[in-house]
């Protein structure tokens, strides 16, 4: 009898632990913002930052991504001001649709800008990453793109 009671307690505790863990994960996902992702993952070289609520972000969305500001639920950008192509762009659209096309357009524009301006930056532009995490679409242009992606994923 004691064995059965201990097993039941262990099962109960295991279920409670996994429920608690799932609730913590869900809570963490719900607390994600583009601002937090930028602040967590942007490299030191990405000294210039603009967040969703900033006037500079609002006034440049169309130019940067080819979409209207009012279609975006959240977003931010970090980039270098030293002539490097380094960039971390994060977008979440209000209707839940993919921002992949907008980020692909942004990347293509950057390639066009840098191919004659600073060709030495082209390898990192060619190796850029575009992916989705928890409804946020991310563009990373950096020599350390995989490392930045890991930071965002955690």
- What local confidence, expressed as pLDDT, does residue 5 receive? 33
Q: Is the pLDDT of residue 119 over 50?
A: yes
Cβ atoms of 127 and 145 within 8 Å: the answer is: yes
Among residues 67, 109, 125, the alpha carbon closest in space to that of 92 is found at: 67
Among residues 57, 37, 39, the alpha carbon closest in space to that of 47 is found at: 39
Predicted TM-score (pTM) above 0.85: no
Cα distance between residue 61 and residue 94, in whole Å = 14
Cα distance between residue 32 and residue 41, in whole Å = 13
Maximum C-alpha span of the chain: 79
- Segment 17-59, tens digit of pLDDT: 434 333 333 334 568 899 999 999 999 999 999 999 999 999 9
Specify the DSSP element, H or E, that contains 138.
strand 136-141
């Amino acid at each position: 009898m004691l064995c059965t009671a201990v097993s039941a307690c262990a099962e109960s505790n295991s279920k409670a632990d996994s429920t608690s863990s799932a609730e913590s994960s869900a809570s963490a996902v719900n607390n994600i913002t583009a601002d937090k992702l930028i602040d967590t993952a942007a490299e030191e070289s990405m000294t210039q930052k603009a967040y969703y609520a900033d006037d500079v972000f609002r006034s440049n969305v169309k130019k940067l991504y080819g979409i209207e500001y009012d279609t975006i639920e959240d977003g931010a950008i970090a980039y270098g001001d030293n002539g490097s192509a380094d960039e971390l762009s994060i977008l979440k659209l209000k209707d839940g649709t993919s921002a992949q096309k907008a980020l692909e357009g942004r990347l293509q524009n950057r390639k066009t800008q840098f191919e004659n301006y600073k060709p030495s930056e082209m390898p990192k532009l060619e190796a850029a990453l575009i992916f989705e995490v928890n409804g946020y679409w991310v563009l990373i242009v950096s020599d350390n793109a995989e490392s930045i992606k890991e930071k965002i994923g955690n």
